[in-house]
Amino acid sequence: MSDAPLYLQPRLTAGPASLLRAGPFLHGLVDGLGSPLAVVLPEEIGRNAAQFAAVLRRHRLGGRIYFAHKATGSSALVRHLAATSACLDAASPEELQHALGAGFTGGRLMATGPKDPAFLWLAARTGTTVNADGPGELEQAARLVRAHGLPRLEVVLRLSGFEAAGARTLSRRSRFGTPAAALGPLLDLLEKHRDALEPVGVGYHLDTTSTDEKATALEGCIRAVDALRSRGFRPRAIDVGGGYGVSYLAHAAQWERYTTALTEAALGRRGPLAWGGYGYGLRVENGTLKGSLALYPAHRPAAGPAYLDELLSRPAPTLGRPLGTLLLESLCDVYAEPGRALADQCGLTLGRVLEVRTDTGGPPWVRLALNAGDVGLEDHGVLVDPVLVPRRSEPPPPDGPGAVGVHLMGNLCLEADLITRRTVFLPRLPDPGDLLAFPNTAGYCMDFTATRAQRQPTARKVAVREEEGVWRWCLDEQYWPVTEAGG
């Protein structure tokens, strides 16, 4: 068994790769603002939105790309997006207020998720489309519109529980949406509230990486649009939800080698790869492997815009033509709600190395001035290596003789506070004062799980931008997508 370092090197586009080469700049930021520190790159989100829009153009489809705001707490990313043609979906009244304050106007906003009366009122008042979960929400929205004399409210009906013909594809049960089979009563309700509600489309939101269930749901939506039209409504869009995925890793081969090694470790054919022999969901019973890897598929052949392209290119399960073609022929625009995929490459989280202990009788311990709440990668099942940003010299080549497996310890007084349970391989042993940069944390892994536990500081957030080879920064809340000169 090879004991070569099992690297999981991050996939980095030009922007974040250049930022990670700017060691003195990053050290200056952490010196001034403390560790942990969250860094966002607003320009990347504009690039991602443009790539999603290009997929729709390639399929000749009209539509809107709604950023699922819940993936980030950053103002800079939301404000930057407001300056593009992208839209935004808000999952709480605070997110909606934040988006309105960032420059989004009602026509570019959608309200999703569980809604209270205040959220519904603010959406209806500002002309935000409401992605309605069910009949109760529609009734409530109609009441609000009438009681407050608000303009007719655009709604998208979220449907779930689509049945496939032939082979039954089992879907995980979802908390959200109205069963597609119960569309009839929903349409009766809309007819009753014609004066208050205008159904502009239908949609689904499925938590799965598989395009099979999504193809079934999308086709079900095409049929639902037809049902709406037959009742005299004029729907124009189908909301294909989120779940486009991010490929976190640079090399498929490293991911394959690593997951195979996890299997071997579970079977006891090689040493443990994680703290306390943790198996990430794998275990062995009577010599047979059981369980499944509770990991995000960190290397994906098709992620983000490419995944949307794949979905639109797939033949519909029963109508037979490619889904994109069916949407086009049925005169439907596409609404998509990427969160993680739009935030791809838009940020990283920096942590200062406080102490390195080599007297552990195993892999050395590297203690950092941050904890697992500040870097949500492990919490989301994402395994990816941090990048060592040395205080002094240049980093050694990754295949150098100094490669070492370490455990990353957090700053909480808690046995279980490891940044990740796995043994992380670094090109060399870090020194106190070095930084570890956790890559690609902007989507869900930056502030989603941060806490003030034990009164440890949560990360400040800064927005950075490269101008003619020089990196500039400002606090996240200071960022606006205009230049200092007002251009």
Partner 1 sequence: MRYDSITEAIGNTPLVRIDQDVHGLRNIDLYAKLEMLNPFGSLKDRPAWNMVRDRLAGAAARGETVVELSSGNTAKALALIAGMHGLPFKSVTNRMRVPEIKDLLLLLGARIEELPGQSECLDPTDTADPLTLFHQQLSAPGSTHLHTDQYFNPLNAQAHAEGTGPEIIADLDGRAPDWFIACVGTAGSSTGIARSLRAHDPAVRVVGLVGAKSDFIPGIRTADEVQEVGLFDPAVYDAIEAVTSDEALDGMLVLLRRCGMLSGPTGGAAYHGAVRHLRALDAELTERRTAVFVVCDRTEGYLGYVRQRRPELLGRPPVRNSADTVTDAELAAARSVEVPEARAWVESGRPLVVDLRGPFAYGALHIDGSVNIVDELFAELVRGGLPFSTSRPVLLACPIGEQSLRYAALLTRMGHPDVRSLAGGIVAWRDAGAPLVRD
State the residues that interact with partner 1 by CB under 8 A: 60, 62, 166-172, 207-210, 212-213, 222, 225-226, 229-230, 242-243, 245, 252, 256, 259-260, 263, 267, 281, 286-297, 301, 319-321, 325-326, 328-331, 340, 379-381, 444
CA 336 vs CA 42, 89, 207, 340, 370: distances in Å: 20, 10, 14, 12, 34
Q: How far is Cα 167 from Cα 163, in angstroms, rounded to an integer?
A: 10
User: Nearer to partner 1 by C-beta: 33 or 262?
Assistant: 262
User: Nearer to partner 1 by C-beta: 226 or 355?
Assistant: 226
- Asked if residue 477 lies in contact with residue 75, where contact means CB atoms within 8 angstroms, the answer is yes
User: Nearer to partner 1 by C-beta: 97 or 209?
Assistant: 209
- Burial of residue 149 (number of CB atoms within 10 Å: 0-12, 13-18, 19+): exposed
Residues 6 or more apart in contact with residue 473 via CB below 8 angstroms = 25, 29, 39, 462, 463, 464, 465
The tokens describing 360, both together, are 């552990």
Closest approach, Cβ 340 to partner 1, in A, equals: 8
Q: How far is Cα 420 from Cα 151, in angstroms, rounded to an integer?
A: 50
User: Nearer to partner 1 by C-beta: 128 or 160?
Assistant: 160
Using the Cα atoms of residue 197, residue 203, residue 204 and residue 209 in order, give the sign of their dihedral.
negative
User: Nearer to partner 1 by C-beta: 177 or 297?
Assistant: 297
User: Nearer to partner 1 by C-beta: 311 or 406?
Assistant: 311
CA 170 vs CA 46, 208, 209, 210, 318: distances in Å: 36, 11, 14, 12, 17
Q: Is 179 helix (H, G, I), strand (E, B) or coil?
A: strand
The tokens describing 227, both together, are 């049902």
Closest approach, Cβ 167 to partner 1, in A, equals: 4
Closest approach, Cβ 349 to partner 1, in A, equals: 18
Place of tokens 């490269």: 466
Closest approach, Cβ 209 to partner 1, in A, equals: 5
Closest approach, Cβ 208 to partner 1, in A, equals: 4
Q: How far is Cα 341 from Cα 153, in angstroms, rounded to an integer?
A: 29
- Asked if residue 108 lies in contact with residue 377, where contact means CB atoms within 8 angstroms, the answer is no
Closest approach, Cβ 163 to partner 1, in A, equals: 12
Closest approach, Cβ 160 to partner 1, in A, equals: 13
User: Nearer to partner 1 by C-beta: 9 or 449?
Assistant: 449
DSSP secondary structure letters along 186-198:
HHHHHHHTTTTEE
Closest approach, Cβ 225 to partner 1, in A, equals: 8
Closest approach, Cβ 22 to partner 1, in A, equals: 32
User: Nearer to partner 1 by C-beta: 68 or 145?
Assistant: 68
User: Nearer to partner 1 by C-beta: 84 or 330?
Assistant: 330
Q: How far is Cα 365 from Cα 354, in angstroms, rounded to an integer?
A: 11
Relative to beta strand 435-439, strand 387-389 is antiparallel
CA 251 vs CA 224, 283, 286, 287, 333: distances in Å: 41, 26, 34, 31, 35
Q: How far is Cα 283 from Cα 423, in angstroms, rounded to an integer?
A: 18
Closest approach, Cβ 261 to partner 1, in A, equals: 10
User: Nearer to partner 1 by C-beta: 153 or 303?
Assistant: 303
